[in-house]
Amino acid sequence: MHQTVFVDLAERSYDVEIGPDLLAQAGVRIKPLLHRPRVAVLTDETVAGLHLDALRAGLAAAGVEMTALALPPGEATKSWPQFERAVEWLLAEKVERRDVVVAFGGGVIGDLAGFAAAVLRRGVRFVQIPTSLLAQVDSSVGGKTGINAPQGKNLIGAFHQPSLVLADTSVLGTLTARDFLAGYGEVVKYGLLGDAEFFEWLERNGPALAGGDMAARVQAVTRSVQMKADIVARDETEQGDRALLNLGHTFCHALEAATGYSDRLLHGEGVAIGCALAFELSARLGLCSQEDPSRVRAHLRAMGMKTDLADIPGDLPGAEALVDLMAQDKKVVDGQLRFILARGIGQAFVTSDVPRDAVLSVLEDALATC
Ligand code: GLY
C-alpha cells in the first residue's frame, strides 16, 4: 500500500513516502541520510504522548538513537520564544552541520522545526514526519518554513526543503474528527484547483476515507502530494503557479484574523469555507456555472464540514472589515488583492483583477445567512 512521490527540485529533490506503519520503518528510511546514527527530534507534547515511543522504536530498529524536545501544542508555539528554545536546544544537543533534525508533528512543528533547521549553523538537513492530515498533504511538502509575527501569520521564515518526508497514514487514526476534517479541507482544495476527476473521486470516497478506510487515505494523500509536488517543482518560490495552492486562502486568512486565530475556526476549516466562497465569486463573475459552487458546498456539507460563514461560532465583522483584513495578507502584491478563481471544478487560476464590489457582495450575501 506504500507510495512514493518524488519532489523534483534538482539538488534539493526528495521523496515523500506515504503509507501505514511508516514510523516502524523510520530508522531504515532515515539512516541513508545520516553520517552518524543519531537524530534530534522536535515535536509537541500531544504527539509525543501518543507516538514518540513508536518513533523511538522505529529508529532504534535500525540502530538510530534519538533525542527529543516536546514543545507545547498549538499555533502559539510558532513564535520567537519557542523558536529560540528549539534552536538553543539543538545547539545544546550538539547537532552538527551534517546531522539531521526531525520535525515530528503537525504544521506548527513542521514549520518551526524546518525554520530552525534552515538557520542552525547556516542550515542543516531535516526530515518531516507529519502527523496531521493537513501537514501530510500540504505543509510538510514544498519547503515553506517559519513562525508567526505579531503582525501576521508566517511572516518570518525561509524556504528550506526537507531531505525526506515520511507520511505515516496510520498516525491519522489518533486525530480528532474535527482535525481530520480540517485537513480534508486541503485535500478537497487539490481537486478543486486542478483535478476534477480527483474531486469526483472524493465525492464518492470521502465518507469512507473519513471513516478510516486506509487504502482511500493513502490514495487521497498520495494524489494531493503529487499535485503539490508538481506545482512546487514548477515554481518553488511562488513567483507564479504555486499561488494556486492558495485557493480559498484569501477568504480564509480574513476569517482567521476575524476570529483571532482561535479555536473558533481551524485553518483547514477556513480553507474549505474559502474555497466555497472563491467558487461563489467565480460564478458571480461569470467565470464558472452556478452549479459549481453548489456542488462544492454539497460535498463539504455531505462530509459534515464547516461550509458557510454561519457555521463559524460567534459574531463576525461586516463585509467591509473582512475585505480590509484580506488586504493585510502577505500575498498582496503592489497593494492589489490576489485571488485564486476558477473557470470550473479543477480549473483554478490566479488573478489580481477582481472588483472590490464583487468581493463585498459575495461576503454581504454570505453574512446575511448568519
Ligand atoms: N501551503 C501553500 C504552499 O505551500 O505554497
**Structure confidence at residue 233 (pLDDT):** 98
Q: Please say if the pLDDT value at position 334 is more than 70.
A: no
Query: Which atom of ligand 1 has the smallest separation from the CA of 141?
Result: 4
* Extended strands (E) in the chain: 3-7, 14-19, 38-44, 65-71, 100-105, 125-130, 144-149, 152-159, 164-168, 339-342, 348-351
Q: Ligand 1 mean position to 60 CA, how many Å?
A: 33
Mutation pick for ligand 1 pocket among 138, 140, 338 (CB with most ligand atoms within 8 Å): 138
Q: Ligand 1 mean position to 144 CA, how many Å?
A: 7
Over the stretch 175-213, which tens digit does the pLDDT of each residue have? 999 999 999 999 999 999 999 999 999 999 999 999 999
Q: Ligand 1 mean position to 351 CA, how many Å?
A: 17
Ligand 1 pocket member 138 (CB < 6 A): yes
**Structure confidence at residue 107 (pLDDT):** 97
**Structure confidence at residue 335 (pLDDT):** 65
From 58, 11, 318, select the one nearest 166 (Cα to Cα): 58
Q: Ligand 1 mean position to 37 CA, how many Å?
A: 32
At 218, the amino acid letter reads: V
Over the stretch 273-331, which tens digit does the pLDDT of each residue have? 999 999 999 999 999 999 999 999 999 999 999 999 999 999 999 999 999 998 776 56
Provide the 10 A C-beta neighbour count for residue 213. Answer: 14
Ligand 1 pocket member 242 (CB < 6 A): yes
Residue nearest to atom 2 of ligand 1 (CA): 245
**Structure confidence at residue 208 (pLDDT):** 97
Phi, psi (degrees; rounded to nearest 5) at 312: -90, 120
Over the stretch 336-361, which tens digit does the pLDDT of each residue have? 778 999 999 999 999 988 999 999 99
Kindly indicate the confidence band of residue 370, based on its pLDDT and cuts at 50, 70 and 90: confident
Over the stretch 20-57, which tens digit does the pLDDT of each residue have? 999 999 999 999 999 999 999 999 999 999 999 999 99
Ligand 1 pocket member 236 (CB < 6 A): no
Give yes or no for a contact between 188 and 252, defined as CB atoms under 8 angstroms apart.
no
Domains of the chain with CATH codes: 3-174 (3.40.50.1970), 177-368 (1.20.1090.10)
Question: And the C-alpha cell for 289?
Answer: 456555472
Provide the 10 A C-beta neighbour count for residue 69. Answer: 19
Residue nearest to atom 3 of ligand 1 (CA): 245
Residue 52's alpha-carbon distances to 41, 99, 102, 296, in angstroms, are 9, 20, 12, 38
Residue 288's alpha-carbon distances to 29, 142, 192, 341, 364, in angstroms, are 45, 30, 12, 9, 20
From 162, 34, 63, select the one nearest 104 (Cα to Cα): 162
**Structure confidence at residue 223 (pLDDT):** 98
Give yes or no for a contact between 69 and 89, defined as CB atoms under 8 angstroms apart.
yes
Ligand 1 pocket member 245 (CB < 6 A): yes
Q: Are strands 125-130 and 164-168 parallel, antiparallel or unpaired?
A: parallel
Ligand 1 pocket member 144 (CB < 6 A): yes
pLDDT over 70 for what percent of the chain? 98
**Structure confidence at residue 338 (pLDDT):** 84
**Structure confidence at residue 291 (pLDDT):** 97
- The residues carrying an active-site annotation are 122, 144, 186, 228, 238, 242, 246, 249, 253, 267
Q: Ligand 1 mean position to 133 CA, how many Å?
A: 14
DSSP 223: H
Q: Ligand 1 mean position to 209 CA, how many Å?
A: 23
Q: Which region among 109-113, 330-334, 339-343 has the lowest average model confidence (pLDDT)?
A: 330-334
The predicted model scores a pTM of 0.96
Ligand 1 pocket member 142 (CB < 6 A): yes
Give yes or no for a contact between 280 and 192, defined as CB atoms under 8 angstroms apart.
no
Q: Please say if the pLDDT value at position 137 is more than 80.
A: yes
- CA dihedral angle for residue 323, residue 327, residue 331, residue 333, rounded to 10 degrees: 120
